[in-house]
A = this chain, B = another copy of it.
Amino acid sequence: MHSESASLPSRRDLLSLIGAVAGSAAMIHAMTALGFASESGYKGPIELDGDPKGASVLILGAGLAGMTAALELRKAGYKVQVLEFNSRPGGRNWTLRGGDKFTELGGVRQTCEFDEGLYINPGPWRIPYHHRAVLDYCKRLNVALEPFIQLNHNALLHGSKAFGGKPQRIREIKTDFQGHVSELLAKVTRQGKLDEGVSKEDREILLQALQSWGALDKDYAYKANLISADFRGFAKEPGGGLGAAPVPGEPIALSDILQSRMWRYLQNFALHEFQTTMFQPVGGMDMIGKAFAREIGGIVRYDARVTRIQQDDRGVIVTFSDAKNPATPQQTKADWCVCTIPLSILSQLPLDVGARMKAAIDAVPYASAVKVGLQFKRRFWEEDEAIYGGISYTDLPIRQIAYPNTGFNAGGRGVLLGAYLFEGANAYEFTSLAPAERVARAVEFGASLHPQYKAEFENGVSVAWHRVPFTLGCAGNWTDKARAEHYDNLCQIDGRIVLAGEHASYLPGWQEGAILSSLDAIARLHARVVKT
């Protein structure tokens, strides 16, 4: 929060002191008392004061971490050069549109056949409101945003063995579970079975609250009536004119919801990372990468595959090959290096760093993820089923079907995210398939939720992140144990090299992590340069 930034440091110092002296529980209490509702790691545009004394920095990777470093270091007076593997900026900040081609590991080349204006984001696709750094760069770089819908009450939950395989509306499972829970707790409260911990006065208010929140009737029952229908929806919606009275539907029994396991999905709508209001850039996520590239201009060298990183006490030498002339290795030098190459790649390169950083680089496996985009002749999910944006969940291998959050209600063709597999055996299995087969399976499985699939499908494209040459995986998959042992070693400056990227953050897989790690890395690098 910008307006508070002037007063924050002293409070933070105080908190660090409390944390060090009295432990984390005391620190939490102190933070609450000091009014830290939520402190972001981003305090507004970074200020790199002090003279860089003509120093040069070589940045490896033109993803968001690399381009953040390039933008800010150049602004601070450094000589900056960027090497990028791809022939485009952005890295995982990537959008696939009609005409785009890409080749995955194994050599299979796909050409996206989507109509003009349709796209999928194979990598990041949503921006939480509390990712202050991403939002601030979007603002500074004039990237227009629109809401990303995470929870659509009218989207589907599907269990292949639940409710005879018939998809349920999220609003019904969500409302009915909450209603039954409220009814159960109201019953034991009225029976005097609650702990002494809840006072008599609070018990009375609790009953009122459960009645309101759980859609209970005057007898604290959750059942078919216009009260529950006001939340779960109606069997017959209220209308106009004669014969227009609404008719409530029958709630799903608690036992059926419990046995269906569909309650598992409800937390996806409540997680801080997925809370309203989320955003997406208008036109595709790569609008951010393109805006950065526009801003930093000609200092990015594309099609440059780094093959070796050397350093001594005078500087850094990086060897790379140009994709158009791969047989002739080239070299470039700088005083310092900010390396944002994913650890999955970096761990395979000759790299002059100490044993501790090397161990950290080797310690982080990369998550498996697969996305499939499917184009359909018409937006049947809107026209037939009143599903506008958001996500349906299933226990089938495709896991999710996500509906486009743009072009609402306008008709015409549309592209669904027809599968989003993240970790688990199904992600590895899909990765092993040929791209066309992934698409075919996504259509086959998706038809269990939307029978219109088979008549309306036109074409598809898929990205399996373990086969993407520039990352060999989706994102750093830290365990708590690996983080405790290696994270700080990964982030320390090693000689003249510092690492940045989502892998060097507590926000794995998020663009915010990439930018925040980059800002932290260059702040420390700059402090060292200024001091020497």
Listed in ascending order, the chain A residues whose CB lies under 8 Å from chain B are: 1-4, 24-25, 27-29, 31-32, 36-42, 129-130, 132, 135, 138-139, 144-147, 149, 151-154, 169, 171-172, 174-175, 177-178, 181-182, 184-185, 187-188, 191, 193-195, 198-199, 202, 205-206, 209-210, 212-213, 215, 224, 229-250, 254-255, 258-259, 261, 263-264, 266-267, 270-273, 275-277, 279, 380, 383-386, 388-390, 405, 408-411, 452, 488, 491-492, 500, 502, 504-507, 512-521, 524
Residues of B within 8 A of A261 (CB): 205
Partner of A386, one of B130, B178, B505: B130
Verify A240–B505 contact, CB threshold 8 A.
yes
Partner of A235, one of B31, B41, B270, B405: B31
A480 to chain B, nearest CB (A): 10
| 10 interchain pairs, CB-CB under 8 A | A38-B235, A40-B237, A187-B195, A188-B194, A191-B193, A212-B266, A232-B272, A238-B506, A240-B504, A244-B506
Verify B240–A272 contact, CB threshold 8 A.
no
Verify A271–B239 contact, CB threshold 8 A.
no
Verify B36–A235 contact, CB threshold 8 A.
yes
CA distance A184 to B188 in the complex (A): 10
CA distance A240 to B68 in the complex (A): 13
CA distance A492 to B232 in the complex (A): 31
Partner of A516, one of B129, B244, B491, B518: B244
Nearest CB to that of A195 among chain B residues?
Answer: B187
Verify A240–B515 contact, CB threshold 8 A.
yes
Residues of B within 8 A of A135 (CB): 409
Q: How many copies does the complex hold?
A: 2
A362 to chain B, nearest CB (A): 20
Residues of B within 8 A of A32 (CB): 235, 249-250
Nearest CB to that of A403 among chain B residues?
Answer: B277
A192 to chain B, nearest CB (A): 10
Residues of B within 8 A of A231 (CB): 267, 270-272
Partner of A390, one of B42, B244, B277, B390: B277
Verify A384–B264 contact, CB threshold 8 A.
no
Residues of B within 8 A of A273 (CB): 230
A356 to chain B, nearest CB (A): 14
A368 to chain B, nearest CB (A): 22
Verify A239–B516 contact, CB threshold 8 A.
yes
CA distance A224 to B146 in the complex (A): 33
Partner of A389, one of B147, B193, B491: B147
- Known pairs A36-B235, A233-B38, A258-B202; A521 contacts B241 (CB<8 A): yes
CA distance A191 to B198 in the complex (A): 16
Verify A233–B1 contact, CB threshold 8 A.
no
Nearest CB to that of A1 among chain B residues?
Answer: B384
CA distance A517 to B242 in the complex (A): 8
Verify B147–A130 contact, CB threshold 8 A.
no
Residues of B within 8 A of A514 (CB): 240
Verify A24–B276 contact, CB threshold 8 A.
no
Partner of A182, one of B181, B235, B254: B181
- Known pairs A38-B234, A247-B24, A272-B232; A388 contacts B277 (CB<8 A): yes
Nearest CB to that of A140 among chain B residues?
Answer: B411
Residues of B within 8 A of A38 (CB): 169, 233-235, 237, 249
CA distance A307 to B502 in the complex (A): 70
Partner of A2, one of B152, B383, B505: B383
Partner of A149, one of B2, B130, B174, B276: B276
Given contacts A240-B514, A246-B506, 11 further A-B contacts (CB under 8 A): A28-B235, A31-B236, A36-B249, A129-B386, A154-B275, A154-B277, A215-B267, A230-B272, A239-B506, A240-B515, A244-B505
Residues of B within 8 A of A521 (CB): 241
